[in-house]
Amino acid sequence: MSDVLLIESLDLEGRGVAHRDGKVVFVEGALPGERVRAQVVRSKDSYDKARMTQLLHASSMRVEPPCPNFSVCGGCAMQHLHPEAQVAVKQRVLEDTLEHIGGVQAPQILPPLHGPYWGYRFRARFSVRLVNKKGGVLVGFRERNGRYVVDMDECRVLPADVSQLLRPLRTMLGGLSRPDRIPQIELAKGDQQLALTLRHMEPLSAEDIELLSNFGREHQVTWYLQPKGPETIHPLNRGDEQHLAYALPEFDLRMGFKPSDFTQVNQSINRSMIHSALSLLQVQPEHRVADMFCGLGNFSLPIARQAANVVGVEGSSTLTLRATEAAREHGLQDKASFATLNLFEVDVSWLRELGYFDRMLIDPPRDGAMALSQALSQLDHHERPERLVYVSCNPGTLARDAGILVREGGWKLEQAGVINMFPHTAHIESIALFTR
76 is in an annotated binding site: yes
pLDDT bin (cut points 50, 70, 90) of residue 291 is very high
- All CATH 2.40.50.1070 domain ranges of the chain, comma separated, are 123-240
**pLDDT at position 335:** 98
380 is in an annotated binding site: no
Architecture, CATH, for domain 89-116+266-435: 3-Layer(aba) Sandwich (3.40)
Closest CA to 32 of 81, 84, 95: 81
CA atoms within 13 A on the CB side of 156: 15
29 pLDDT more than 80 = yes
The model's pLDDT over 373-388, given as tens digits with 9 standing for 90+, comes to: 999 999 999 999 999 9
12 pLDDT more than 70 = yes
**pLDDT at position 1:** 57
> For the chain, what percent of residues have pLDDT higher than 70?
100
The model's pLDDT over 165-187, given as tens digits with 9 standing for 90+, comes to: 999 999 999 999 999 999 999 99
Separation of alpha carbons 249 and 434, rounded Å: 28
141 pLDDT more than 80 = yes
51-55, 89-93, 133-137, 336-340: which has the highest mean pLDDT?
Answer: 336-340
> For the chain, what percent of residues have pLDDT higher than 90?
92
Q: Is 343 helix (H, G, I), strand (E, B) or coil?
A: coil
Angle between the 83-97 and 395-403 helix axes, to the nearest 10 degrees? 30
Mean per-residue pLDDT, 306-328: 97
**Mean pLDDT over each residue of the chain, to the nearest integer:** 95
73 is in an annotated binding site: yes
Tell me: cis bond preceding 116? Omega within 30 of 0 counts: yes
Mean per-residue pLDDT, 94-111: 96
Separation of alpha carbons 275 and 318, rounded Å: 26
226 is in an annotated binding site: no
Mean per-residue pLDDT, 105-128: 96
Mean per-residue pLDDT, 307-332: 97
CATH code for the domain defined by 123-240: 2.40.50.1070
86 pLDDT more than 60 = yes
- CA 338 to mean position of chain CA atoms: 23
**pLDDT at position 115:** 86
- All CATH 3.40.50.150 domain ranges of the chain, comma separated, are 89-116+266-435
- All CATH 2.40.50.140 domain ranges of the chain, comma separated, are 3-62
294 is in an annotated binding site: no
71 pLDDT more than 90 = no
Catalytic residue among 393, 406, 416, 418: 393
Is 294 catalytic? The answer is no
Task: Please give the class, per CATH, of domain 3-62.
Answer: mainly beta
Per the model's pLDDT, the better-predicted residue between 71 and 233 turns out to be: 233
298 is in an annotated binding site: yes
14 pLDDT more than 90 = no
Can you list the alpha helix ranges (DSSP code H) found in 252-339? Answer: 267-281, 300-304, 317-329
44 pLDDT more than 80 = yes
Closest CA to 425 of 6, 124, 44, 130: 124
**pLDDT at position 59:** 95
Mean per-residue pLDDT, 419-433: 96
155 is in an annotated binding site: yes
Per the model's pLDDT, the better-predicted residue between 333 and 9 turns out to be: 333
23-28 contacts, C-beta under 8 A, 24 or more apart = 23/47, 23/48, 24/48, 25/49, 25/50, 26/50, 27/51, 27/52, 28/52, 28/144
420 is in an annotated binding site: no
132 is in an annotated binding site: no
The model's pLDDT over 329-352, given as tens digits with 9 standing for 90+, comes to: 999 999 999 999 999 999 999 999
Tell me the whole-structure pTM to 2 decimals. 0.94
240 pLDDT more than 80 = no
**pLDDT at position 11:** 83
